Amino acid sequence: MNKKNFLAIDIGASSGRTILGTLNNGVLEIKELTRFANSLIELNGHFYWNLLSLYEAILEGLKKTVRDGIEISSIGIDTWGVDFIAIDKSQEILGMPYSYRDPHTTDAPENFFKLIPRRNVYESTGIQIMNFNTLYQFYTLNQNQSTVLKEADKVMFMPDALSFMLTKKVVMEYTIASTAQILNPYTKQPDAELLSHVGLDKNKFGQLVMPGTVIGNLSDSVCRQAGINFVPVVAVGGHDTASAVVSVPALDENFAYLSSGTWSLMGIEVKEPIINSETYGLNFTNEGGVDGTIRFLKNICGMWLLEQCRKEWGTELSYPYLIGQAMECKPFEYLINPDAAVFSNPVSMTQAISQYCIDANQEAPQSVGEYVRCIFDSLALRYKQVLESLQSLAPFVINRLYIIGGGSQNKLLNQFTANATGIPVIAGHTEATAIGNIMMQAKALNIVGSLSEIRQIICDSVSPVTYQPENTGIWNEAYNKFNKICNNKYNHEERSLSRESIRNS
């Protein structure tokens, strides 16, 4: 295998990176080239993404490869899910994209279900009901008579939008489109009935392409600005979790994965969607994966809780310091349901946690360490809760859990998760998403073949760390307390928007 360089552009819900991947004789090496913020912009009561800032950051990553004398074979982009842009017939972008955290869709699902029953929507798409799903964003904009949809010639999800800005090509990559709750999971095409109720039809979207498809080459404008030669842009697993799952270093199917970042996404890989009364009741989702797989998963709030607390305390408090403070605190004193609606986007996360604890007949955390311990204990127990549901639905025995993404570095939470779930937890690479992105580029260029071949290369290239369960009896007792708190009358309804991963994203 000849040495090849690939550029992965991996953008999560709070930051982005450009990662260089070098594949040489069956071994992958990666290197971060640039890192940039992806911050929400609040304007007149709405929250937007700064699309042009992301474009500039991508250009800077391309320029970095030129400055470093690196010749890249291709580029791939992955992002968080559900959000989108629209362009008119002149291919002009119609405004900045709303963020999924914008409150304009708060009541949208229940209003939409007056048109099509909730269960019918789930059975038509297999997607977890979350109020920020693209379907309900479309519905809200249509109800508000938004000019964005009225004037739209094409609608593109975020990785496709950024690829469009690089190539002028309009596509709809399968994995990112599958997060929107508009695709039929069997035909993999937009559902005409659902779209008709939001004022759209399938012609408003680009050609559906599968991960590992070359979209087109960089445009003349991009090449001139970056000082780079024409390079193909590849549709990878455009949803960051789809790319992250590619990088699970497993050689059989008996595993679950937890893509851990701002959001936590726990699931398994299956060949066909799992859509039935039980999955509907548990609000599990069936999202598109690579190589013909379905990502059957549950979206769980992740490090968002701690990230928001840290903003209040000051970002100068490092994660090692916060973890050290947590380790000094008594366990299980304060427990919350991480997916309660009050934690979606509160003005103050610490106040939201305190009030939740008080409403659940607990004391409120006082110190930084107690808040962190509350978050970590609660997340680990929530992971156990979801894993139990997942095992009841899986067509195989789950004997280990792979943690991938930024959360794989959190040794304390990894150990807590092993303790809570009672199975080995294996921490993969922190740049799991970028690795999956890179390997799908290699697949598009026919350098590698199947998903199993990709994972063999990953196994040969990374050194996972395994955490064995400890003190499971104590954690089982805490789990009983956690379940009572989640089920008591003070528990706020689990948010319909509880997703990942919107991951690792």
What one-character-per-residue DSSP string does 248-297 give? Answer: ---SSS--EEEEESSEEEEEEEESS---SHHHHHHT-EEEE-STT-EEEE
Decide yes or no: CATH 3.50.30.30 for domain 250-427+470-500: no
pLDDT for 315: 85
Q: What is the pLDDT of residues 391-449, one digit of tens each?
A: 999 999 999 999 998 889 899 999 999 999 999 999 988 899 999 999 999 999 999 99
Query: Which pairs from 143-147 meet CB under 8 Å and 24+ separation?
Result: 143/111, 144/104, 147/94
For the segment 274-285, the average pLDDT, to the nearest whole number, is 94
pLDDT for 103: 92
Mean pLDDT of the chain: 93
State the pTM of this model: 0.87
Q: Return the domain boundaries, the chain.
A: 4-241, 250-427+470-500
Q: Following CA atoms 43, 129, 205, 504 in sequence, which dihedral angle do they give, to the nearest 10 degrees?
A: 70
pLDDT for 406: 84
Residue with more model confidence, 501 or 308? 308
Asked if 370 and 333 count as a contact pair (C-beta separation under 8 A), the reply is yes
Catalytic residues: 240
Asked if 492 and 246 count as a contact pair (C-beta separation under 8 A), the reply is no
Q: What is the DSSP letter of 218?
A: P
- Helix, strand, or coil here: 98? strand
Which tokens sit at 385? 């809760």
| Percentage above 90 pLDDT, the chain | 89
Could you tell me if residue 69 is left (phi over 0), alpha (psi between -120 and 50 degrees) or otherwise beta? Answer: left
pLDDT for 495: 43
- Torsion sign across C-alpha atoms 192, 196, 198, 199: positive
pLDDT for 344: 84
Half-sphere exposure of 91 (CA within 13 A, CB side): 9
* 4-241 and 250-427+470-500 share one fold: yes
pLDDT for 1: 55
Whether the per-residue pLDDT at 197 is higher than 90: the answer is yes
Decide yes or no: CATH 3.10.20.30 for domain 4-241: no
| Percentage above 70 pLDDT, the chain | 96
How far apart, in whole angstroms, are the C-alpha atoms of residue 150 and residue 211?
A: 30
For the segment 376-393, the average pLDDT, to the nearest whole number, is 97
* Bridge partner list, 87: 93, 154
Q: What is the pLDDT of residues 443-502, one digit of tens each?
A: 999 999 999 999 999 999 988 999 999 999 999 999 999 999 998 734 444 443 333 333
Asked if 33 and 61 count as a contact pair (C-beta separation under 8 A), the reply is yes
Query: In this structure, how many other beta carbons lie within 10 angstroms of the beta carbon of residue 494?
Result: 15
Asked if 237 and 473 count as a contact pair (C-beta separation under 8 A), the reply is no
